[in-house]
Structure 1
Amino acid sequence: MLINKTYFIDSCDDIELNIKRESKLEYKITYDDSKQMKAVVCIIPGFGEDTNSDYKRHLAEIICSSFDVLVLNVEYHCIGARLNNGAKITFDNIDKFILEHSCKAFGINWKDFSYDDLKYIDQQMVELKSINKNIYSQSKIRLSGSFEPTKNEYQNFGIMQATDISNAILHVEKNMGGGIPVILVGSSHGGYLANLCAKICPWIIDGIIDNSSYALTPLAYLGFAKEIDYTRYYEFYIKYSENIDLFLFTKSFWTSNQYSPYYFSNARKSIRDILNYDHLKLQSSYGKIPYISYHSVYDTIAPYKDKEKLYEILNKLGFDVFLYEINCEKQIDGRLIKNLDHGLGMSIKTLIKKHLPQILQKPLKDKTCKKEISYKCDDLVYTFKEKNNQIILNIIKLN
């Protein structure tokens, strides 16, 4: 009989920024209690429509029934950062500054606007264009805005999210029993988190199936890129009207201000980058798992050249890897691959059905290694350690 269960557990605080977490970590499992499960398959959603709860449950039940595996879905930190899964559009201090000065440039009276008040600005622009010949009909107000995630969360980006996924896996193993492979599957940001989990706790993960993940930390998704150029490094774009363009960023405490305790330094970026030879070499000493990835050469969000270089390094280090380069319309089959854009319009169900069987045939790696790993990142050393069925992060600043 198929069983669906939901758990709420304690997970990590934000050790980097010394922020106490307010909410429990939620995760769901699907399994058949009449069968012996062959693996834990964690399907990691990204920022898109694959965060829909009904879709995730349906997919989990199909995969569980098809392969006799336990399927894990983790509501990792800041997963609710899009309008389709509960986020709201707000204006932070930078957004308000841009809004105020943009309104003044067109002679529009400014007040403390909310998102709903943009229709007032839109109407003012319509009226101004009709009476002021000096304002071109193509003129627009270009504004920045912020996604306010659910649960009063914010974008730490990567580290807390990968730790959440790892902690959920450990909690499943504690309650359901271990000794079976752990396979991670994800697209875009979900694929990135799969790779990051393998980096921060390589003794837990036994295989990666990845579609279109980024190999280097993308500036646009860190929340603070509006401080640099909000019309260039935006995370999400909305054409609000013919008169207003809105460039959106997820709420974050990270900043480009090097004098702030929340400065996103090179060390912060280094620990989040997957494409780091020294880190990959260290990771390889914990076992060389299989990696499978699909990636379009036309991807404008996650550059293909970075993924190609990553897989060259993984291959040299002895990992069992295969990168499917998608470079022409002939490869669009309408089932697995539907376009040449970021994400390839890919069916996760078809991806899993195609590649999970071959990973399940691989022998389970030796997991008797030390359950601790340390990465030197410029002036910081990040140490991830498994203790009491949780991943604990410790950060030391070098002199």
Structure 2
Amino acid sequence: MLINKIYEIDSCDDVELNIKRESKLEFKLCFDDEKKPEALVFITPGLGGDADDNYREHLAETIARDLNVAVVSVNYHCIGNRPNTGSTFYMDEIDKLILDATTQAAGIKLPYSVDKIQNYDQMSEIFHFINQALIEGKKEGKFRLDYYLNLHVSLQPTKNEYQNFGIMQAQDLINTALFLKNNAPFDTMGGGIPVIMIGSSHGGYLSHLAAKIAPWLIDGVIDNSSYAKFLWKLVGFGKEIDFMQYSEFSTFSLFRHICICGSTKTFWTSNSSSPYFFSPARRMIRNILESSHLEIQSFYPKPYYVSYHSFYDKRIAPPEDKIELYDIFKKYHFDAKLYMIKDQDQIDGKFIKSLDHGMDMSIKTLIKKELSIMLEKIKKHPKKEYKDKSISYPCEDLLYKFTQKEDKILLEVERN
């Protein structure tokens, strides 16, 4: 019989920014109590439709039913950063500056100062006012019929979280795996049960990052369309540089004459004098494609990697980065296979449905296609117990050190 269990555990604080975490880490475990699972399989959602709870539960049950594995789905830090996953709109000081400057340039006089916008209702009222002013202005010939305003809003994630981007999220995946190795309601082979990470886009990126942080723990990564370097659009503070180019999304769905750009709340900033400066070192640790780091990782037990990627994915996950990453994997003797999808005849309508980012891929088909192969490799070449469960990555002026202690992965950041 299929069993679904929900857990809440303590995970990690934000060591980089010295922020105490307020929220618990929640994850779900699905397994068949009539089987002995051969692996813990993490299906890690990205930032799109695959973060939907109903979809994730159905997928987990299908895989746990059809294959001899336990399926884990982690609500990692800041996963609720889209309206469809519970986030809410608000305006911070930069958003208000953009609103004020943009409406002044368009000659639209607001009914009250932007400083008085304190809640969602007031924000909505102002946006309706601007939209109506644009409609009337077009009727009077003040604006072209195709004219619209670009404005920016921020997203407050659920649980009062914020966008740390990558590090805390990968730690959440690792801490979940460590917890289950010791506390799962089934035999985990004395804690030696293999751990396989699977994900699309941001979920695939986090799977690679978890393997970078704890290579002795992660046995395999199955990926669809992850980016090899951190994505500026998703870090949250791109609006400080160019709110249209570096916003996470833009939409006309709320107001016909306003393009609303949005970004997730973050404490990171481009201000080099701030303690929250997103410095080159902060970027470096978040990159999977970092040759010196891959060389360091190569001295540890090597996870297996397999990835699918569209050759035409230029906007979100540049294929040249992925190709270079997997070339470096091979240089350091990782078992890593990249399938670069280039041709229309590779679109079969069932597994791969487009050449856009993510390829509208069936994750269920991906898992059924690749998971058994990876499990066979792991069985033939099981990892030996690795005593030194610590890895350090020099990053410009900082040294990032990740250490496994009992059932947690701990981070220390020191001046290099």
Q: CA deviation at 1:105?
A: 2.1
8 Å Cα contact 1:162/1:197 also seen in 2: yes
1:22 partnered with 2:26: no
Aligned-residue CA RMSD (Å): 1.1
Q: How does 1:170-209 map to 2 (within 5 A)?
A: 170-176=178-184, 177=188, 178-209=191-222
Q: CA deviation at 1:106?
A: 2.6
2:3 alignment counterpart? 3
8 Å Cα contact 1:203/1:369 also seen in 2: no
Q: Secondary structure at the match of 2:322?
A: helix
| 2:243 aligns with one of 230, 243, 252 | 230
Percent identity for Structure 1 against Structure 2: 51
CA displacement 1:100-147 (0-9 Å, x = unmatched): 11122233233344442212210111112222x342222211111111
CA displacement 1:328-364 (0-9 Å, x = unmatched): 2111011110100000001110100000000000132
1:144 alignment counterpart? 152
CA displacement 1:231-274 (0-9 Å, x = unmatched): 11221111143321111111111000000000000000000000
The separation in 1 between residues aligned to 2:337 and 2:215, in whole angstroms, is 19
| 1:242 aligns with one of 253, 256, 259 | 256
The separation in 2 between residues aligned to 1:287 and 1:386, in whole angstroms, is 15
Q: Secondary structure at the match of 1:99?
A: helix
Where does structure 1 differ by over 4 angstroms across 4 or more consecutive aligned residues? Answer: none
2:329 alignment counterpart? 314
The separation in 2 between residues aligned to 1:286 and 1:344, in whole angstroms, is 33
8 Å Cα contact 1:223/1:250 also seen in 2: yes
The separation in 1 between residues aligned to 2:137 and 2:154, in whole angstroms, is 27
Supply the AA of the counterpart residue of 1:162: A
| 1:352 aligns with one of 362, 367, 384 | 367
The separation in 1 between residues aligned to 2:364 and 2:67, in whole angstroms, is 12
CA displacement 1:170-202 (0-9 Å, x = unmatched): 001011232121100000000000000000111
1:277 alignment counterpart? 291
TM-score by length of structure 1 reads 0.97
The separation in 2 between residues aligned to 1:367 and 1:268, in whole angstroms, is 31
Q: CA deviation at 1:65?
A: 1.3
CA displacement 1:306-333 (0-9 Å, x = unmatched): 0000000001111111111111211101
| 1:293 aligns with one of 307, 323, 333 | 307
8 Å Cα contact 2:215/2:302 also seen in 1: no
The separation in 1 between residues aligned to 2:359 and 2:90, in whole angstroms, is 31
The separation in 1 between residues aligned to 2:65 and 2:331, in whole angstroms, is 37
Q: Secondary structure at the match of 1:361?
A: helix
| 2:354 aligns with one of 339, 345, 352 | 339
Q: CA deviation at 1:31?
A: 0.9
8 Å Cα contact 2:181/2:193 also seen in 1: no
Structure 2: stretches of 5+ with no match in the other structure: none
Q: Secondary structure at the match of 2:268?
A: coil
8 Å Cα contact 1:286/1:369 also seen in 2: no
2:273 alignment counterpart? 259
TM-score by length of structure 2 reads 0.93
